[in-house]
Amino acid sequence: MAANPNDALANLKRQMADMTAKLNLLKAAPHQGHDPVSAAVRAQEHCQEIILGSFLKSPLKLHREVNPDHVVLSFNLANYAQWEESIEATLQYAFSVTEPMIAKTNNFTDLATEYNHAIASLMKNTIDKSLLGIIKAAGHKTAKAIFEALKLKCERSDQSNDNFNGTGE
C-alpha cells in the first residue's frame, strides 16, 4: 500500500526543518567556543599573553626561569657571547618568536615603550655593577643604547686583546 503523498511531503518538511536547525547549530558553534582549533589557538594566545605580561612585570624573574644559570655580564666582557645568548633566549620566549629578537627589532629600535623599558631593565639587571655604573654615567636608558654601548665596549675589548696578544695589526 502506497503512503499518502501528503504524509511523505510532511515528513520531508520535518526532515528539512531538522537539518536546517542542525546546520544553524553548527554555524553558531565556533562563535560559542565549540570549535576545537580556535579554542586551542585562543588558549595558546592566552598563555602567550600571560608570559609576556610576566616579562613586562618582572623581566629578571622570567629571565631566571628561562636561564637557570643566570649569566651576568662580567666587567671585562669575557662572557659577552653567553650573556647575549641568554638575553636572546629570554626575549624569544617572552615574545614567542623563533628568529633572533635583536635582529627582528632592528637592535631594539622598533619597540613599543613598555617593551623597551622591560628589555632595558633586563639588561641592566644582568650586567656587572661596575658596568651598570658606566652605562648610567653615560646616560644610556633605552634598550638600544644599552645594547649598543655594551656591544661596542666588547668589540673594543676584543681588539685590545688582539693587539695585546700580538694578533691584531
For residue 168, being part of any structural domain is answered with: no
Instruction: For residue 137, give the C-alpha cell.
Output: 654615567
Give the angle subtended at the CA of 122 by the CAs of 117 and 127, to the nearest 5°: 130
Please compute the mean of the pLDDT values over residues 59-70 and round it to a whole number. 94
Residue 27's pLDDT is 72
Per-residue pLDDT band at 163 (split at 50, 70, 90)? very low
Per-residue pLDDT band at 108 (split at 50, 70, 90)? confident
For residue 43, being part of any structural domain is answered with: yes
**Residue 73, SS3 per DSSP:** strand
For residue 147, being part of any structural domain is answered with: yes
Q: Report d(CA 129, CA 146) in Å as an integer.
A: 14
Instruction: Examine the pLDDT at 110 and tell me if it is beyond 60.
Output: yes
Residue 24's pLDDT is 76
- High-pLDDT (> 90) share of the chain, %: 51
For residue 9, being part of any structural domain is answered with: no
Residue 102's pLDDT is 84
Residue 35's pLDDT is 67
CA dihedral 31, 33, 34, 38 (to 10 degrees): 90
3-state secondary structure 107-138: CCCCCCHHHHHHHHHHHHCCECHHHHHHHHHC
For residue 157, being part of any structural domain is answered with: yes
The count of domains in the chain is 1
Q: Which of 70, 46, 73, 52 is nearest to 118 (CA)?
A: 52
For residue 7, being part of any structural domain is answered with: no
Q: Which of 135, 137, 161, 162 is nearest to 149 (CA)?
A: 135
- Where in the sequence is the domain holding 48, given as residue range(s)? 38-163
Q: What is the mean pLDDT of the chain?
A: 84
Please compute the mean of the pLDDT values over residues 3-16 and round it to a whole number. 74
For residue 11, being part of any structural domain is answered with: no
For residue 51, being part of any structural domain is answered with: yes
Structure confidence by residue, pLDDT tens digits, 19-58: 787 777 777 665 555 567 777 778 888 899 999 999 999 9
